[in-house]
């Protein structure tokens, strides 16, 4: 694997996942504090966003994005569950990567502090022909911001973002993660060989972060379709006094827009409460599940 992090191959081979599940904790068992961080009671929250709304209207409100939704609308074109989903649209003519038009934002009801944890589960659908990279003719090599957690300083300033990226078109790596800081802290999550992009089907992602400015205490765990892509010790806050405040899905294209295109999103669950998670039967790690 193209990184220096420990990687458990049991989770990337389907037969091994089935075999390993026999000897590990069963799904449905609630995770315990001993298996990671535990968010303080007053900062625990759970947010469910099922993108149920009126077709064609902007995907905003209590069951969709809280802001920055731009061109995102409710749709019935592709739906994971319920009657509608979110449709994220990018125009080829969008300038500055379509900032404010592409994706949207989910606000946290409570700021998360050092030692707290965050679990995220969401679904995406990419139609055939969707490009996961920038326009190579004008911005060769640019990575694309995918799912981003905003961090804020104690005084309310920008403390950078904690990002999951799609890597460059011709790179061996498929997903990368970064904590924006000086210097930026990059980690490889998975390779293209292990996790090629999937089209014309719903794809489920899970992420678990432990918030810490200490690399040995911070954590990032990443799953796709139930398979652990990586478990990484990483710095997830720039400073011990920073907070995690909201999530961006996309928000803008890193470089010139490659073409007019759209994708779909549905069935988000965002929680800082360990009681809202179960144990992944293969890894033994807490997660929201598939």
**What is the C-alpha separation between 103 and 146, in angstroms, rounded?**
9
Q: Is there a contact between 286 and 278 (Cβ–Cβ < 8 Å)?
A: yes
Q: Structural domains in the chain?
A: 9-131+151-287 (2.60.120.200)
Q: Parallel, antiparallel, or unpaired for β 46-49 and 261-271?
A: antiparallel
Distance CA 130, CA 126 (A): 6
Report the alpha-carbon distance of residue 234 to residue 276 in Å, rounded.
24
* Number of Cα atoms under 13 Å in the Cβ half of residue 62: 0
Give the H/E segment covering residue 208: strand 202-210
**pTM for the complete prediction?**
0.87
Per-residue confidence in pLDDT tens, the chain, 290 aa: 333 333 333 333 333 333 333 333 344 555 554 455 689 899 999 999 999 999 999 999 999 999 988 899 999 999 999 999 999 998 888 877 778 788 999 999 999 999 999 999 999 999 999 999 876 665 555 788 899 999 999 999 999 999 999 988 888 999 999 999 878 888 999 999 999 999 999 999 999 999 999 878 999 999 999 999 999 999 999 999 999 999 999 987 777 777 889 999 999 999 999 999 999 989 989 999 99
Whole-angstrom distance, CA of residue 150 vs CA of residue 224: 22
CA distance 218 to 228: 18
User: Cα(20)–Cα(1) distance, rounded to whole angstroms?
Assistant: 21
- The phi and psi torsions of 101 (rounded to 5 degrees) equal -110, -20
Task: Report d(CA 259, CA 94) in Å as an integer.
Answer: 10
Distances (CA, A) of 260 to 24, 97, 135, 248, 251: 45, 12, 11, 21, 15
Query: SS3 letters for 40-64?
Result: CHHHCCEEEECCCCCCCCECECCCC
């Amino acid at each position: 694997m193209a990184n220096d992090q420990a990687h458990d191959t049991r989770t990337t081979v389907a037969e091994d996942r089935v075999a390993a599940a026999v000897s590990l904790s069963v799904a449905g068992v609630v995770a315990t504090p001993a298996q990671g961080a535990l968010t303080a009671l007053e900062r625990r929250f759970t947010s469910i966003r099922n993108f149920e709304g009126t077709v064609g209207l902007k995907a905003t409100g209590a069951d969709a994005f809280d802001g920055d939704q731009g061109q995102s609308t409710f749709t019935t074109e592709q739906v994971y569950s319920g009657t509608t989903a979110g449709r994220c649209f990018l125009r080829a003519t969008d300038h500055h990567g379509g900032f404010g038009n592409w994706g949207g934002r989910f606000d946290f009801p409570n700021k998360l502090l050092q030692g707290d944890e965050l679990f995220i589960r969401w679904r995406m659908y990419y139609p055939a022909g969707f490009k996961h990279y920038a326009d190579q003719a004008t911005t060769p090599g640019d990575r694309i911001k995918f799912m981003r957690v905003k961090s804020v300083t104690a005084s309310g300033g920008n403390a950078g973002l904690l990002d999951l990226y799609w890597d460059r078109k011709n790179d061996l790596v498929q997903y990368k993660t970064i904590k924006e800081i000086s210097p930026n802290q990059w980690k490889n999550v998975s390779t293209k060989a292990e996790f090629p992009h999937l089209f014309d089907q719903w794809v489920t992602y899970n992420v678990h972060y432990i918030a810490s400015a200490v690399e040995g205490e911070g954590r990032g765990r990443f799953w796709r379709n139930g398979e652990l892509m990586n478990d990484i010790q990483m710095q997830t806050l720039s400073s011990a006094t920073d907070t995690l405040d909201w999530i961006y899905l996309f928000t803008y294209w890193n470089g010139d827009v490659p073409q007019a295109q759209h994708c779909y999103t549905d069935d988000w669950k965002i929680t800082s409460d360990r009681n809202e998670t179960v144990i992944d039967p293969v890894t033994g790690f807490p997660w929201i599940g598939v």
